[in-house]
Amino acid sequence: MIIVAGRLHVEPADRARYLAEVAAVTRLARAAPGCLDFAQAADQLDPTRINVYERWESDEHLDQFRAAGGPALDLPPLQDADVRKYRIAGEEQP
């Protein structure tokens, strides 16, 4: 299993526009083979922050989704980003 998680930062005035633009990407990802979860969401405390979370069955599924292209987006510039890919060896109930 692959998890992609992290944070993006945009100007506070741009966050709603950024999230509206990527809504189509979220719909495509969630319908893609191997996608277990996909979300980009406004942080509750920091008005510049967007939280990123993706969960995929495999690298191959993630790579296929990324290679498929997607809608043309008019995104505001990112001020900062820290997003990482994690390889998960196992899972269990919390």
Let me know if 62 is exposed, middle or buried by CB neighbors in 10 A (0-12, 13-18, 19+): buried
Model confidence at 69, in pLDDT bands (50, 70, 90)?
confident
Instruction: Kindly report the backbone phi and psi dihedral angles of residue 51, in degrees, each rounded to the nearest multiple of 5, phi listed first.
Output: -90, 135
- Average pLDDT in the 3-9 region? 98
Q: Give percent above pLDDT 70 in the chain.
A: 100
Given a cut of 90, is residue 71 above it in pLDDT?
A: no
Ordered domains of the chain (ranges, CATH): 2-87 (3.30.70.100)
Q: What is the mean pLDDT of residues 24-38?
A: 97
Residue 70 pLDDT more than 90?
Answer: no
CB 40 within 8 A of CB 19: yes
Region 20-43 average pLDDT = 97
Q: Output the six-digit token pair for 94.
A: 């919390």
Q: Rounded distance, CA 55 to CA 34, Å?
A: 9
Structural tokens at position 68: 């498929």
